[in-house]
């Protein structure tokens, strides 16, 4: 068995999962900050939150692209 490849896949999976969770959490936090009435520029925070959500969505779609064999043809 090729243990190095197994460890590489496990490492990339762990890194990707942690990155997605952090980006989604950051997007939720920025949305909450933008909803605060005392915030000076809520538009900037809301747009950064949407960027975080867009990156998460793109990463999920890329993962589906890698998993589903129909898209790889």
Q: What is the pLDDT of residues 6-37, one digit of tens each?
A: 999 999 999 999 999 999 999 999 999 888 86
* pLDDT value for 37: 66
Question: Is 45 a domain residue?
Answer: yes
Domain count along the chain: 1
pLDDT of amino acid 58: 96
Please give the pLDDT value at position 7.
Answer: 94
Residue 38 in domain: yes
Phi-psi region of 29 (alpha: psi -120 to 50; beta: other; left: phi over 0): alpha
Owning domain of residue 41: 11-72
Contact of 27 with 53, CB cutoff 8 Å: yes
Which pTM value belongs to this model?
A: 0.82
Percent of the chain with pLDDT over 90: 67
pLDDT score for 69:
84
22 assigned to some structural domain: yes
């Amino acid at each position: 068995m090729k243990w190095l490849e197994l460890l590489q896949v496990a490492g990339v999976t762990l890194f990707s999962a942690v990155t997605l969770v952090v980006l989604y959490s950051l997007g939720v936090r920025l949305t909450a900050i933008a909803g605060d009435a005392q915030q000076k520029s809520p538009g900037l925070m809301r747009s950064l939150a949407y960027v975080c959500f867009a990156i998460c969505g793109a990463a999920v779609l890329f993962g589906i692209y890698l998993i589903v064999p129909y898209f790889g043809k």
